[in-house]
Structure 1
Amino acid sequence: MRHWRLPDTHNIRDLGGYPLASGGTAQWRRILRGEALHTLTAEGLSGLVENELVLVIDLRGPHETGLHIHPFADHDRVGYRNIVLFNALSPIALAGPSFDMAQRYCDALDQCGPQFAEVFRAIANAPLGMVLFHCTAGKDRTGVVAALLLANAGVAEEDIVADYALTSSATGLIDQLRTRALSTGSDPMQVERMLASDAATMERFLAALNTKHGGIKAYLDAIGLSASEVDAVRNRLCQ
């Protein structure tokens, strides 16, 4: 089951099950992607721990992490890492009418290499068990990290795009974010653009990865990851 139906969450998903270029499929219960976790109930928290969650990677910035205590920040069985992604890019809250989400993703390839490398190293060095990475909605920062992980594993681009677009099915979460944004007086059309997870957005990101950066292998090498680190992350999904 790709969606983890945990109480009070909407967009926690498994990266397993996708066909691999090398044959077979990505392994289930190895790497999860998700939204902010502060809404987890005790039942949801224990459900993740009982399924051998060993590491949580929080991609949010301090303006987000300071709002709520993270349920895994001081957990006795699950490690917690805060690796801030997109921090150097313009905040979405300040985006104007000409804001281009796909370009934001492409800019991340240029500007967030050290952070992507840190995420890969955290996964490579994690103990046996599940790793969960997340941001606030589980769409943008989480989406580009998921795309890189799936590409590194040998998942076809059409499946990577489909995985990204699945966030649109998390209607409960999208409705909450829409209501929150509209309550601040944000332009409704702009809000819808910010909340969209159109396939074309991820297609542009993957095109930039391939044409500008030479593909996933060349990109991971360029941001300083060793072959053993790249293999360790791939093997986590593939073996």
Structure 2
Amino acid sequence: MKKRFLKIAAICLAVSAALAYPVGVAVSALSKTGQSVSAADVITVVSPAQSAEIDLDNAAVKKYFAEYTRKSSYAYYGHGDQYFMNDVKLEWQSDEAQYYQVYLSEDKFFSSAEKYLTTRPEYLLQNLVPNREYYWKVKVSYENGEQKTSKAYKFTTKGSVRAITAEGVSNSRDLGGAKTADGKTMKYGMLYRSANLDSITEKGKKQLRMLGIKTELDLRGDTLTKSALGDDVTLINIKGAYYVGHFKGIEFGYDENKEYIGYFCDELRACANESNYPMIFHCAIGRDRTGTLAAYLQMLCGVAEEDIYREFEFSHLSAAGTADGSTELGVYAPFNAMMEQIKAKEGATLAEKAANYAIKMGVTANDIASIRNILLEG
């Protein structure tokens, strides 16, 4: 027992030292004697192959994007979570080690690399960004203090949507990747949408915290007092608006809507505050109130109308997004009504119409400019 305890303690001390080791080290390392140790022919990558292209879309997602027309999401309605991305498994071979450190970076110099520890010669990567080039390498640590580092390897991802895996959370995805009419792109890693986080597990919390989320925007109103992700994540509670119409919508002319127009302006102001990012926003099932805000932000940013519909209907590929028992048409109709209402507003483009209407509701031109500056690149 004492011997086993000492071995575990030694591993813990070694891992602690590894965490303090600087990212971006050279391809060779020093042994206890101070001599350089070559990694050649010692660490061999099994997968993915060098320069491999990896499709992150699963079969259902690939089919959805390839065949999408309005209402085609009905074919997926009520069949549970079908949207998760394919994970990427890194595998390598080496002589027996105490533990491994995996470095992952979007640049070949590993200047801003993420570092992961594992005791097995493999590591599962989740929630990667589609259409990106990734570089990775492995540092092997032995019980005698010796370390060896592999050469750098590369793979490229492709995919249609960054659907987020977080255990205990459904209907979750990154709003990044959408193209705009003026050639810009909505940034990845800034704004995430999902269903509620009420049942998130400890593993799910870790998965979301790895995204660097600073703010949780809960559109259910004052249901919680602190974020499920931890005390260091800011919680903003707002009663989210539902589409248009005469009940909790963003359409003028109905007394019932006045307070919800005000709430919707609060939502947009929260999205105009750069210090809130990266941010995750949600309601109960992540479809109606969440879908209203997501679509409006996309309109403000200049995303094409058809792409906005497709993004909204993507919720039908989730368990949460179809959990309330609404019929497919009952979900589509109010969203379509909102889009038609905005299209009827003053302005030459959908982005201008959405901006003009947002100003009429009560936000400022500076708020809109800030949203675009935060969410767009290129």
TM-score by length of 1: 0.76
Structure 1 segments of 4 or more deviating over 6 A?
Answer: none
| CA pair 194-71 structure 1, distance change in 2 beyond 3 A | farther
For residues 12-23 of structure 1, the aligned pairs below 5 Å read 12-23=172-183
Matched, 1:108 2:246: no
Matched, 1:232 2:374: no
Aligned to 2:335: 202
SS of residue matched to 2:308:
helix
* Deviation (angstroms), 1:70: 4.9
SS of residue matched to 2:293:
helix
CA distance in 2, matches of 1:55, 1:208: 30
Aligned to 1:193: 327
CA contact (8 A) 1:34 1:137 kept: yes
For residues 153-168 of structure 1, the aligned pairs below 5 Å read 153-168=301-316
Larger relative CO (CA 8 A, sep 6+): 1 or 2?
Answer: 1
CA contact (8 A) 1:16 1:29 kept: yes
CA contact (8 A) 1:55 1:79 kept: yes
CA distance in 2, matches of 1:146, 1:104: 20
Aligned to 1:188: none
CA distance in 2, matches of 1:197, 1:167: 10
Give the % identical residues: 28
Aligned to 1:29: 189
| CA pair 24-125 structure 1, distance change in 2 beyond 3 A | closer
CA contact (8 A) 1:58 1:133 kept: yes
| CA pair 41-219 structure 1, distance change in 2 beyond 3 A | same
For residues 54-133 of structure 1, the aligned pairs below 5 Å read 54-62=214-222, 65=223, 70-72=227-229, 75-86=230-241, 103=245, 107-110=249-252, 111=257, 112-127=260-275, 129-133=277-281
More strand by share: 2
CA distance in 2, matches of 1:237, 1:69: 26
SS of residue matched to 2:196:
coil
CA contact (8 A) 1:16 1:30 kept: yes
CA contact (8 A) 1:60 1:84 kept: yes
| Residue of structure 2 aligned with 1:42, choices 184, 202, 209 | 202
* Deviation (angstroms), 1:12: 0.9
Aligned to 1:186: none
Unaligned runs of 5+ in 2: 1-160, 348-352
| CA pair 103-167 structure 1, distance change in 2 beyond 3 A | same
CA distance in 2, matches of 1:61, 1:129: 20
* Deviation (angstroms), 1:122: 1.2
Aligned to 2:20: none
Unaligned runs of 5+ in 1: 90-100, 179-190
Deviations 1:52-109, CA, capped at 9 Å, x for gaps = 10111100045xx26x97514xx332111000124xx8xxxxxxxxxxx874689333
CA contact (8 A) 2:218 2:238 kept: yes
Q: Paired residues, what number?
A: 206
Aligned to 2:295: 147
CA distance in 1, matches of 2:279, 2:315: 19
Deviations 1:97-156, CA, capped at 9 Å, x for gaps = xxxx87468933332221111111112224263111100010100011111100011101
CA distance in 2, matches of 1:161, 1:104: 22
More helix by share: 1
Aligned to 2:358: 220
CA RMSD of aligned residues (A): 2.7
